[in-house]
Amino acid sequence: MTKHNLKHIKTLSLCVLITFTSCKDNEKNETSMANTDNILLQEWTGPYDGVPAFDKMNVKDVKEAVEKGMELGLEDIEKIANNPEPPTFENTIVEMERSAKDLTRVFTYYGILSSNMSSPEFRDLQAELAPKLSDYSSKISQNEKLFERVKAVYDASQTTPLEADQQRVVDLTYKGFEMNGANLDAEKKKRYAEINKELSSIYTKFSNNVLHDEENYVTYLNEDQLGGLSESFVKSAAKIASDKGQEGKYAITNTRSSIDPFLTYSTERELRKQVWTNYYSRGDNGDEYDNNDLIAKILELRKERVGLMGYDNYAEWRLQDRMAKTPENAMNLMMAVWPAAISRVKEEVADMQAVANASGDNITIEPWDYRYYAEKVRQDKYDLDSEEVKQYLQLDKLTQALFYTADRLFNYKFTPVAEGSVPVFHEDVKVWDVTDKDSGKHIGLWYLDPFAREGKRSGAWATTYRSHTTYDGEETVLASNNSNFVKPAPGEPVLVSWDDAITFFHEFGHALHFFSSNVKYPTLNGGVRDYTEFQSQLLERWLSTDEVINQFLVHYKTGEPIPAALVEKIKKAATFNQGFGTTEYLASALIDMKLHLADPENIDIDKFERETLNELGMPKELVMRHRTPHFGHVFSGEGYATAYYGYMWADVLTADASEAFRDAPGGFYDKELSEKLVKYLFAPRNSMDPAEAYRLFRGRDAKIEALMRDRGFPVPKS
């Protein structure tokens, strides 16, 4: 996911709340320059057009930097709003693009301290600053003089259109103001701002509650409780336990990268239940860190806020500028796939129960059994052992596979920078210089932060510290990928699962999307939520190309390439367990949408989740990928609120585009199609309508039938 770094709150997209994705990235500041010793506010210096001083950032500088950045940002806005000259694209819209550069820089550091290097001290600061940042955003979105100027430029462009990219910026800017209450009367604007302020604090508390439960629910094993676990996993678990002061024990942390392999291989059923319960109960433990009441309040406030603008529900408001356009369209897509998904789960459970019965295990499949017995079915049906596959999936080699793919499709070369030449915020972070392979032109820097640690939120995500623009001189890109692989014991390789390897490619797809940008204005580096996951989901497909498999999947001990027979098993098993994967995802997406369509008054979140899943026929043998009390995509901010369906929407595009590559003369490395991929799907970012961009690539709209074929589901008759 562009998952999910906190960024600044800025004028263009009017992010009235702290959300997961960036509203705008860092450019050189020519309109407001802080004269301060605070490192977080200072313009970036050094090589590569300037880089963040990550090695010098300190939590104690954050409050001053944020408050000063807001002060300078509002000075920029007031200057634009009070310009005596008639409003034009240049003196209004472009000046807004240039505004608040100091605060933009501050939020690059803020995002790292929030997502990669969190601490109790910083979390307290987040809680203190959240309402102030909300006030700042409201002062921009409710600045009547500013909106009058934006509206004047917008209205003029309706009769005398601007150049295409300029028109797109104007349309997005005006729509942002309109969707955030710029047309409300004074009394409603006041209430709108109050709601945003309250929500900003709740989002921060929700996120910190989840992080608390991830850090504090650790399962420690003794040596006689390691049955089924791989040697590399055991060594990593011992290292983590030792780091936590539990020498001689083995730690299973409360993150997906730790619990997934444990639930897949551990022979200790009661421990599997304990680990599973810890993970899926995050934010739902009935204590001071419980999120259920916070969610109810969030839903209530969101509905009230959009009601001020005349919308019936939050989903109706949110989806108007997305590809889906309406909640009904999003629901129709999900419900078209849901019956096939849960039907496949029944088949998968039957297969697992048969294996359990044949083994004399005398159990009925429960959620903490699903991964364990699914793995046994995989071995039985396809003679495919996931642990055997992991022996050929080394993180270092997979990183080289990413670079190979970027070379073949984008003509990019990745060169490690000299250690110490670029500041990093942790010793685990590595940096590469990205250049055009032929011309040598500098494209940007790629930062990789691969390992889980205390204070780092779970999951995997990509973010930008600076995006490409040309309106004020060409800006190079600073992009990062962030993972939570379990750090190995010293001298041991990092071996990952096939699913983790896919995710690694996915997040790199976001980075390539950042690097390939050819847009002029910062706003156009944004994205439409149900489209922005498409490019990264599509890049996943290159992991299983013969060129990548044959060169980079080699055994970590012998260096021998992965056997052709094992590759064939992997490909045959490509649709294995799609019932589980699709159902756990869709359950989360459906609950997200249905919660925002429901009446939030006196809502009981736990009861709503339980009853809604029951009505949908959710199989009892698995749970939502993200249960509501820890559904950070939706309740730590608004980035994916009523938009989690977007992964499925993007999956339709992905499956359809994949068939185009499959059928191309040169396959997935077809030169002509690769050029169209970059030209229409990656480089434009949000400078054109996504549906039109896809049609330029494919020659038509995407078809859901491709998705059904891709997942091995029955294709509905037309």
**DSSP letter for each residue of 499-552:** HHHHHHHHHHHHHHHHHT---SSGGGG---HHHHHHHHHHHGGGGGSHHHHHHH
Domain positions in the chain: 1-141+143-180, 217-280
Predicted pLDDT at 170: 98
Helix (H) or strand (E) holding 184: none
Mention every residue, 6+ apart, whose C-beta is less than 8 A from residue 314.
299, 302, 303, 305, 306, 596, 641, 642
Give the pLDDT band (50/70/90) at residue 328: very high
Return the axis-axis angle of helices 292-307 and 186-216, rounded to nearest 10°: 160
User: Mind spelling out the 3-state secondary structure of 362-409?
Assistant: CCCCCHHHHHHHHHHHHHHHHCCCHHHHHCCCEHHHHHHHHHHHHHHH
Asked if 423 contacts 51 with a C-beta cutoff of 8 angstroms, the reply is yes
Which of helix, strand or coil describes residue 45?
A: strand
Predicted pLDDT at 639: 86
| Residue 434: strand pairing partners | 414, 444
Q: Alpha helix locations (H) across 227-369?
A: 231-243, 256-265, 269-280, 292-307, 314-318, 327-358
Predicted pLDDT at 33: 52
User: Residue 670 and residue 697: Cα distance in Å, rounded?
Assistant: 14
Calculate the average pLDDT of the chain.
93
Please compute the mean of the pLDDT values over residues 659-683 and round it to a whole number.
98
User: Residue 414 and residue 433: Cα distance in Å, rounded?
Assistant: 6
Amino acid at residue number 71: E
In sign, the C-alpha dihedral spanning 114, 115, 121, 127 is: positive
Predicted pLDDT at 126: 93
Q: Which CATH architecture has domain 1-141+143-180?
A: Orthogonal Bundle (1.10)
pLDDT for 4 beyond 70: no
pLDDT for 703 beyond 70: yes
pLDDT for 11 beyond 50: no
Q: Alpha helix locations (H) across 142-254?
A: 144-159, 164-179, 186-216, 231-243
Predicted pLDDT at 35: 63
DSSP class of residue 55?
G
User: Residue 432 and residue 9: Cα distance in Å, rounded?
Assistant: 29
104-160 pLDDT per residue, tens = 999 999 999 999 999 999 999 999 999 999 999 999 999 999 999 999 999 999 999
Amino acid at residue number 301: L
User: Residue 557 and residue 714: Cα distance in Å, rounded?
Assistant: 42
170-213 pLDDT per residue, tens = 999 999 999 999 999 999 999 999 999 999 999 999 999 999 99
Predicted pLDDT at 718: 61
DSSP class of residue 44?
P
pLDDT for 468 beyond 50: yes
Tokens of 432: 């590469």
Nearest to 713, CA basis, from 338, 248, 191: 338
| Residue 252: strand pairing partners | 219
Nearest to 26, CA basis, from 470, 446, 465: 465
Q: Alpha helix locations (H) across 6-100?
A: 62-81, 95-98
Asked if 375 contacts 499 with a C-beta cutoff of 8 angstroms, the reply is no
573-596 pLDDT per residue, tens = 989 999 999 999 999 999 999 999
Position with higher pLDDT, 14 vs 557: 557
Predicted pLDDT at 717: 75
pLDDT for 450 beyond 60: yes
User: Residue 254 and residue 630: Cα distance in Å, rounded?
Assistant: 12
Please compute the mean of the pLDDT values over residues 316-332 and round it to a whole number.
95
Tokens of 390: 């992991």
Q: Cα 293 to chain center, whole Å?
A: 25
Give the pLDDT band (50/70/90) at residue 29: very low
Predicted pLDDT at 458: 85
353-408 pLDDT per residue, tens = 999 999 999 999 999 999 999 999 999 999 999 999 999 999 999 999 999 999 99
pLDDT for 28 beyond 50: no
Nearest to 579, CA basis, from 384, 368, 335, 339: 339
94-113 pLDDT per residue, tens = 999 999 999 999 999 999 99
Predicted pLDDT at 716: 79
Predicted pLDDT at 527: 84
Predicted pLDDT at 263: 98
What burial letters (b/e) apply to 53-65, b meaning 16+ CB within 10 Å? bbeebeeebbeeb
Predicted pLDDT at 18: 29
Tokens of 458: 């779970």
Do the bridges between strand 442-451 and strand 461-466 make them parallel or antiparallel, or are there none, so unpaired?
unpaired
CA atoms within 13 A on the CB side of 699: 2
- Tell me how far CA of residue 538 lies from CA of 20, 100, 107, 306, 398, in angstroms: 22, 34, 30, 34, 17
Tokens of 22: 């960036």
250-259 pLDDT per residue, tens = 999 999 989 9
* Burial category of 82 from C-beta neighbours within 10 Å (exposed 0-12, middle 13-18, buried 19 and up): exposed
Give the pLDDT band (50/70/90) at residue 34: low
Return the axis-axis angle of helices 690-698 and 646-663, rounded to nearest 10°: 20
Q: Cα 546 to chain center, whole Å?
A: 28
pTM: 0.89
Nearest to 453, CA basis, from 480, 491, 425, 475: 425
pLDDT for 61 beyond 90: yes
User: Residue 627 and residue 623: Cα distance in Å, rounded?
Assistant: 7
pLDDT above 90 as % of the chain: 91
68-83 pLDDT per residue, tens = 999 999 999 999 999 9
Please compute the mean of the pLDDT values over residues 535-540 and round it to a whole number.
97
User: Residue 409 and residue 508: Cα distance in Å, rounded?
Assistant: 13
